[in-house]
Amino acid sequence: MFIAIFCGIYTSIVMSVFGKFSFFKEDSAIPDFVRSWFDSMLPIGIILCSGWILVLLMRVDIYNMILSIFMPLSGLLETSYGFVIMMFVYCFMYSMGISSWVLTPVTKPILLAAITANIAIASGQSAGALNVVTAETIYSAYLWIGGIGCTLPLVFMMARSKCKSINALGKASLVPGIFNINEPVIFGAVAWNPIMMLPMWLQGVVLPIIVWVFTKVIPIAPIPAFVFDMWYCPFPFSTWITTKGFTGFVLLVIVALVSTLIWYPFFKSYEKQQMETEKELEQASA
């Protein structure tokens, strides 16, 4: 998996560098799909030749080289502070309008390796402690209720707001939020909004600590031990599927309550600000 990610990154770099090159002039009579096919031969040829030179001629062990780069990062993220750092970076980038999917090439192989190890441990094929930091823990069991930043509690508050604009956005974000799609609320209310960015960051620090404590330190809730990549499955159904235990619901409720308490004061401040703005606009148009 690490090799596939590295190859994908390298391919993207080569394609971006040579993607604008063309063997034909702009006014060429050759159809576009034929031109695209010929033009793609150059970056493909560069990728194949560079791989042939490195692996076969220079005897470079790319596999172990890439593993040596990524494995220390894997060990870091499977610690309590590594977990918090990763979740904070997710929330921080998202609050800036940058989707956390850009981190997928780095985090996805680590999360896959972690859940694979959990499966082996749960089945008795290997020994050791279960890894908390898996995609199943983050997206389906406990953490990101409604999407990255645990925004579903915020959406419910917005849908009940007395402010017309916030209420409309909350109602529009409700159905996507239930399925853990939160781009409407993030780009509609949180991104680059100083009042709402801070609670987003707090979610990325406080909630992972809670999940870590109640799965590792005081293990009242189970850690997922099988692959479940349906991140769009609504809570709490995904919690039951990934944990198979009622104690998992206890931790889910704790996370939801703490998330609500974090969002609430900042939401009320934002609501007050928006209501004042709406009132001023109404008076100006009267």
* Nearest CA-CA partner of 177 in 264, 89, 256, 102: 256
pLDDT at residue 110, rounded to an integer: 84
**pTM given for the model:** 0.76
- Report the pLDDT value the prediction gives residue 45, as an integer from 0 to 100: 76
Count Cβ atoms within 10 A of the Cβ of residue 53 and give its class: 0-12 exposed, 13-18 middle, 19 or more buried. exposed
Residue 158 burial (10 A CB sphere; 0-12, 13-18, 19+): buried
Per-residue confidence (pLDDT) for residue 4, from 0 to 100:
45
Dihedral sign for Cα 115, 120, 124, 130, please.
negative
How much is the pLDDT for 37? 63
User: Could you tell me the residue ranges of all domains in the chain?
Assistant: 2-16+29-60, 80-279
Amino acid code (one letter) for 286: A
Number of DSSP helices (H) and strands (E) in the chain, helices first:
13, 0
Encode 213-250: b = buried (16+ Cβ within 10 Å), e = exposed: bbbeeeeebbbbbeebeebebebbebbbbbbeeeebbe
Across the chain, which has 286 residues, the per-10-residue mean pLDDT values are: 50 59 63 64 74 78 64 80 94 90 79 91 88 94 96 97 94 96 94 95 97 95 93 95 92 98 97 92 78
